[in-house]
Amino acid sequence: MTRTHSVSANMWPKMDSPLGCIQIFTKPTSLLARSTEVLCAARGQSRACVLKYDNSLRAKPLAKVPVCLDTMHVWTDGSAMDNGLESCTAGAGWISNLEIYDSVSLTGIPMTNNIAEVAAVTLCLSAWRGYNVVIHTDSSYVLKLMKGNLLTMERDGWGDFPRTGQSASSLPLFKHLLFLLRCHGRSVEFVKAKAHRDDVWNNRADSLANEGQVSGRPYNLWSLVTPDGWIDHQPVLAHQPLSYLTRLIVRDTVLPPLTRHKAGPFCDRWVVSMARIFGMYLDVDAYAPQVWRINVPLGFKETMWREMNQAQAIGHQYHGQHELMKTCPCGQELSLDHILMGCIRYNLSGLEQVMHDRLREISPKVWHKSLHPDTWKPSPWYPLLALKQVEQNSVKPSRTLLKPNEVFSKSRSAREWVIGLYFWTVWKWRMAEANEPDFRFLPARQISNLHAILAKEPQDC
């Protein structure tokens, strides 16, 4: 016969002595324990946690408090000399209304007065764990922590502190404070004490904190260890707007379009093309998303984005019945680049001249490739994605142009609009011819129409 072992067998003491029977009703997991005490025992019971005061009389829980004193009042205070400097030394102390007190010298991390105040509260909670406590403190910083700042730190993943492994971090102290508050088992209340007034108890706590600095009993704040399961070490997404959570999910789970295999050919061509036209290497990942920020018609932004991701329904990617959507009348496969450059069947020189005339009206009176889209071939729309970077890196000061960046930036948005509107208009005319049997695109007859279109303001288009 095979013997099986119960998972809960280790909870019960041996029955070979009366003491074992008594422990059934006195252990934290006893039959008479309250549910909160059982929870503390399961998660790492507070009275068993190690929070060392080196050489302190309060290393163990206090003896049983008289029944008549249901709530303990404890005054805490921290003291720092040379506050905020590297030479700062600090002490912490507390005293109860039972005349029980303690004070220590704080070590382990760079000290400030606020750190000393927080450490004093931590020492108090460690010594009086398991009792109803009213903590009197004159520290506004501690009171703000209790009103929500400590939980905000936890929610944000303790981002204001140096990461684990850096000895200069006060992070272990704040984590341990939150742990002691959660595992206390009884009520904890904080009261504002008047500093350096007629509050005798607060003055005594202040004296203890000063004595702690030179007490010779060090308390290492860096050595504090918080048991697992009591606090969150990573950011908590509760109480955040749905839009914020959605952005996080999309950022961390959805593959960016330009990293997919379909965008690979465009990325390679764009880098090579920019190097050939302007003689500079640009990272496509930094500039391709700018397609949604440049000043061109929205329809052309969408057209460029589809072209980047091989989602343009023309050429070999078109599966309809309109032949002009697959092949240009000149015999070439239809593509965005082919449409914008023109061919023997569609001579766009007249329309290009209209665009150049408009650009001359608004552009600086110098010659640069960024001012002449006819030099951007074979993919004339590529430079629109990085026009600002190209001009800032390649236009040098001269006698006639002392501040080129300032001069070019004044007209850049207008130039983007004229070039983008021209490309968008040519694209629409070609698409209309391919899909509407009654429309015929003859570039020479559209010159006057293009004049009128380019003369319009952006808000009119």
pLDDT digit string, tens, across residues 32-46: 444 344 434 443 433
Can you read off the two tokens belonging to residue 259?
Answer: 């990293």
Neighbours of 256 (CB within 10 A): 12
Phi-psi region of 76 (alpha: psi -120 to 50; beta: other; left: phi over 0): beta
Give the whole-angstrom CA distance, residue 183 versus residue 179: 6
Rounded (10°) angle between helices 387-394 and 264-278: 30
**Which residues 6+ apart lie within 8 Å of 387 measured at CB?**
294, 370, 412, 415, 416
Q: Is 404 helix (H, G, I), strand (E, B) or coil?
A: helix
Determine how β-strand 188-192 pairs with β-strand 132-137: parallel
Cα 152 to Cα 99: distance, rounded to the nearest angstrom: 35
49-85 per-position pLDDT tens digit: 333 333 333 334 444 444 446 788 999 999 988 887 8
Listed by start position, the domains of the chain span 11-44, 49-223, 264-460
Q: What is the three-state SS of 307-357?
A: HHCCCCCCHHHCCCCCHHHCECCCCCECCHHHHHHCECCECCHHHHHHHHH
Instruction: Give the residue among 39, 219, 193, 51 at the shortest CA–CA distance from 128.
Output: 51
**Segment 156-211, tens digit of pLDDT:** 777 777 554 445 688 889 999 999 988 888 888 898 887 766 778 888 888 898 88
Three-state SS for 324? helix
**Residue 133 is encoded by which pair of tokens?**
């406590």
Spatial contact of 142 and 121, defined as CB atoms under 8 Å apart = yes
Q: Residue 196: how many CA atoms within 13 Å on its side-chain side?
A: 1
191 CB contacts (<8 Å, ≥6 apart)?
134, 135, 136, 137
Residue-wise pLDDT for 207-237, tens only, equals 898 888 887 788 888 888 888 888 887 776 6
Nearest by Cα to 157 from 64, 234, 250: 234
Nearest alpha carbon to residue 274 among 396, 364, 377: 377
Identify the sign of the CA torsion 157, 163, 169, 175.
positive
Per-residue model confidence as pLDDT tens digits over 352-369: 999 999 998 888 888 888
**Average pLDDT across the chain, whole number:** 78
Residues β-bridged to residue 329: none
- Per-residue burial over 372-382, b if 16 or more Cβ lie within 10 Å, else e, is ebeebeebbbb
Domain 49-223 has CATH 3.20.20.70: no
Cis previous bond, 378, omega within 30: yes
Residues 208 and 124: beta-carbon distance below 8 Å? no
> For residue range 426-448, what is the model confidence (pLDDT) as tens digits?
999 999 988 888 889 899 888 99
pLDDT 10s digits, 229-282: 888 877 766 556 667 777 777 777 766 666 677 788 888 899 899 989 888 888
User: One-letter amino acid identity for 87?
Assistant: S
Which value, to the nearest 10 degrees, does the dihedral of the CA atoms of residues 268, 337, 340, 441 take? -160
Token pair belonging to 306: 């589809």
Roughly how many angstroms between the first and final C-alpha of the chain, as a whole number? 89
CA angle centred on 166, ends 165 and 168, rounded to 5°: 145
The pTM score is 0.48
Both structure tokens of 230: 């009591």
- Residue 36 has a pLDDT of 40
With tokens 């059934």, the residue in question is: 24
